[in-house]
Amino acid sequence: MEGKMKVVMKQEAKAGAVLSEMDIPKIGPKDVLVKVMATSICGTDAHIYSWDAWSQNRIKPPYVMGHEFAGEVVEIGADVKSIQVGDIVSAETHIVCNTCELCTTGKAHICKDTAILGVDTNGTYAEYVAIPETNAWKNPKGIDPAYLAVQEPLGNAVHTIMSGDIIGKTVAVVGCGPIGIMAVAVAKAVSASKVIAIEVNEYRLELAKQLGADVVINPMKEDPIARILEETEGLGVDVVAEMSGNAIAIKQALKYIKLGGRMAMLGIPTAEVPLDIANDIVFKGITIHGIAGRKMYETWYQVKGLIESGNLNLDAIITHRLPMEEFEKGFDLMASGDCGKVVLYPTKELFDTYNK
């Protein structure tokens, strides 16, 4: 397809981004070209936008930001077999080699040669995006694309919560950003006995309540260790879903996790976190599980099943919808914490269609 398209570009190695224009991407024989219908802002995008230390060491401007999206396939490569023009797709954003030992033994989500859409390649804050056929996840038609766009981060929440036994367990979700509030909803949907949400932002604590949290704790106002031990008869929680990356929160979680408990860690600290490994890990006999993205493609099928079950409340997760021209407002919302998922629409026509 020939022509130009509107994009949000990380133009320079500094904070911010710009609305720009570039050529519609060309596709290879195993790629598909997708017309973006909706794309959502991720915490990773917020890091890149603010140009923090992680971004400075990883991102190479200029390039197009964004990776969570849904859209319609408008062109396919000559060798594409499983996807057709007109399909509505989302994307598994980890582009892997598919040939190494990890990829061929069910661990493609941690392939050492992974490139990430919208981080290492041009992304989805655009009218069109090119992705490999193997990364296209086919969706049912007739569903609001905003809900389809958030399946990728929802997959992170599902992978974190369901990386071990969860039915009948007490769960602490630490950090209720967009993926954290999703984790609250997932834990409730898969029959956790009690879900405790821990977050410093009152807006997001309220979202956690709406999504089913049984207990909410603001650690700026009360001691989370004492409160959680009180809520669990002095035993601590069975499962910690660590979404914050905050050093203090991580250390506290190791104090209120139950003996023999499980800690699933998705949050990324910005610096090294000193731990009391002997007393808080070894002698407590806990399991710590690092969560990288989604299992390819086991987690996607779990997400699909949860959505189709009707047990998962998605309505409260998407709090703001904006035309792509207002991307700066979206990033300001993310920085304030007063939002859940923020969805951008590449064209006014799409925004008007899904915001009547």
Digitized pLDDT (tens) for each residue of the chain, 356 residues in all = 899 999 999 999 999 999 999 999 999 999 999 999 999 999 999 999 999 988 999 999 999 999 999 999 999 999 999 999 999 999 999 999 999 999 999 999 999 999 999 999 999 999 999 999 999 999 998 899 999 999 999 999 999 999 999 999 999 999 999 999 999 999 999 999 999 999 999 999 999 999 999 999 999 999 999 999 999 999 999 999 999 999 999 999 999 999 999 999 999 887 899 999 999 999 999 999 999 999 999 999 999 999 889 888 778 899 999 999 999 999 999 999 999 999 999 999 999 998 87
Residue 313's pLDDT is 78
pTM flag (> 0.75): yes
**Which tokens in the block code for residue 89?**
């797709």
Catalytic residue among 39, 44, 114, 170: 44
Give the pLDDT confidence score for residue 60 in this predicted structure. Answer: 95
Give the chain's domains with CATH numbers: 4-150+317-353 (3.90.180.10), 157-290 (3.40.50.720)
Structure tokens at 90: 């989302």
User: What pLDDT, on the 0 to 100 scale, is given for residue 69?
Assistant: 98
Distance in angstroms (rounded) separating the CA atoms of residues 313 and 325: 29
| Predicted local confidence at residue 35, as pLDDT | 98
Listed residue (316, 175, 328) closest to 253, CA to CA: 175
CA distances from 50 to 179, 221, 243, 342 (A): 19, 28, 19, 16
Residue of 39, 47, 159, 170 marked catalytic: 47
Q: Which residues make Cβ contacts (< 8 Å) with residue 300, sequence separation at least 6?
A: 92, 137, 151, 155, 294
Q: What pLDDT sits at residue 54?
A: 87
Give the pLDDT confidence score for residue 131 in this predicted structure. 98
For residue 23, CA distances in Å to 3, 64, 118, 254, 331 come to 6, 12, 16, 50, 25
User: What is the per-residue DSSP string for 240-286?
Assistant: EEE-S--HHHHHHHHHHEEEEEEEEE----SS-----HIIIIITTT-
pLDDT of residue 152: 96
Give the per-residue pLDDT at 279: 97
pLDDT tens digits, 74-110 = 999 999 999 999 999 999 999 999 999 999 999 999 9
pLDDT, residue 195, reads 98
The pLDDT value recorded for residue 196 is 98
Model pLDDT, residue 156: 97
pLDDT of residue 356: 72
Reply yes or no on whether 44 is catalytic.
yes
Dihedral Cα 95, 98, 101, 102, nearest 10 deg? 40
- 44-53 LR contacts (CB < 8 Å, sep 24+): 44/119, 45/118, 45/331, 45/334, 46/331, 46/334, 46/335, 48/10, 48/119, 49/10, 49/15, 49/16, 49/17, 49/331, 50/15, 50/335, 51/13, 51/14, 51/15, 51/16, 52/270, 53/270
Q: Given the DSSP bridges, would you call strands 94-95 and 115-116 parallel, antiparallel or unpaired?
A: antiparallel
47 is catalytic: yes
In this prediction, residue 316 carries a pLDDT of 87
